[in-house]
């Protein structure tokens, strides 16, 4: 991959998709949600509420592909690769321990390179200093935000 960037903004967004994937017109954006626990966790409701605050409602103008590790952190890289293969527009992650997070980002980068991504952008909040440090350690460089929150 020629370029690795991260943007201080949301959490886990990816861009720079191959032209064949970009050419497919979607009726609504598809969000990949990768959780380390199970669907019943309370953070899903908070995520959906925050998404609605930005104007997106699951099933109305956004689709969400959920993948759950059910506490088996070793499953996260394969689940992340599955979301990349599905061509989701954004991957949002939840949970995990630091070594697992690094393995997860590494798995997503490798799968993206394998299928032809030219660049990748990872978005995060300024308060997520651990994620920012991890992205820098893995070779990503800061860039200007793609969008800003209202």
**Are 94 and 33 contacting, i.e. CB atoms less than 8 angstroms apart?**
yes
Query: Is 31 domain-assigned?
Result: yes
Which sign, positive or negative, has the C-alpha torsion 51, 52, 58, 59? negative
Residue 148 located in a structural domain:
no
CATH number of the domain to which 28 belongs: 3.40.50
In this prediction, residues 107-126 reach a mean pLDDT of 80
pLDDT tens per residue, range 15-64: 333 434 444 555 789 999 888 877 766 778 888 988 898 899 999 999 99
Note whether residue 150 is domain-resident.
no
Report if residue 136 sits inside a domain.
yes
Helix 98-114 to helix 76-86 angle, to the nearest 10 degrees? 30
Q: Is the pTM of this model over 0.75?
A: no
Rounded to whole angstroms, the Cα distance separating 139 from 127 reads 20
* Three-state secondary structure call for residue 130: helix
In a domain, 149, yes or no: no
Question: How far is the C-alpha of 34 from the C-alpha of 140, rounded, in Å?
Answer: 21
pLDDT recorded at residue 61:
94
The DSSP string of 64-129 is EEEEE-TT-GGGHHHHHHHHHHHT-SEEEEE---HHHHHHHHHHHHHHHHHTT-SEEEEEE-TT-H
Number of structural domains, the chain? 1
Q: Print the domain residue range for 75.
A: 3-143
CA angle at residue 50 from 91 to 35, to 5 degrees? 40
Provide the pLDDT for residue 125: 76
8 Å CB contact between 141 and 5: yes
């Amino acid at each position: 991959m020629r370029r690795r960037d991260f943007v201080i903004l949301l959490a886990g967004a990816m861009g720079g998709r191959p032209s064949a994937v970009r050419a497919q017109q979607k009726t609504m954006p598809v969000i990949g949600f990768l959780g380390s626990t199970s669907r019943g966790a309370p953070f899903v409701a908070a995520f959906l509420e925050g998404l609605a605050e930005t104007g997106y409602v699951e099933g109305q103008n956004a689709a969400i592909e959920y993948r759950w590790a059910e506490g088996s952190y070793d499953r996260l890289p394969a689940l992340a690769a599955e979301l990349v293969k599905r061509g989701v527009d954004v991957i949002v992650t939840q949970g995990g321990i630091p070594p697992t997070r690094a393995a997860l980002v590494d798995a997503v980068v490798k799968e993206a390179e394998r299928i032809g991504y030219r660049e990748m952008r990872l978005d995060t909040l300024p308060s997520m200093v651990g994620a920012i440090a991890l992205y820098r350690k893995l070779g990503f460089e800061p860039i200007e935000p793609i969008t800003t929150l209202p």
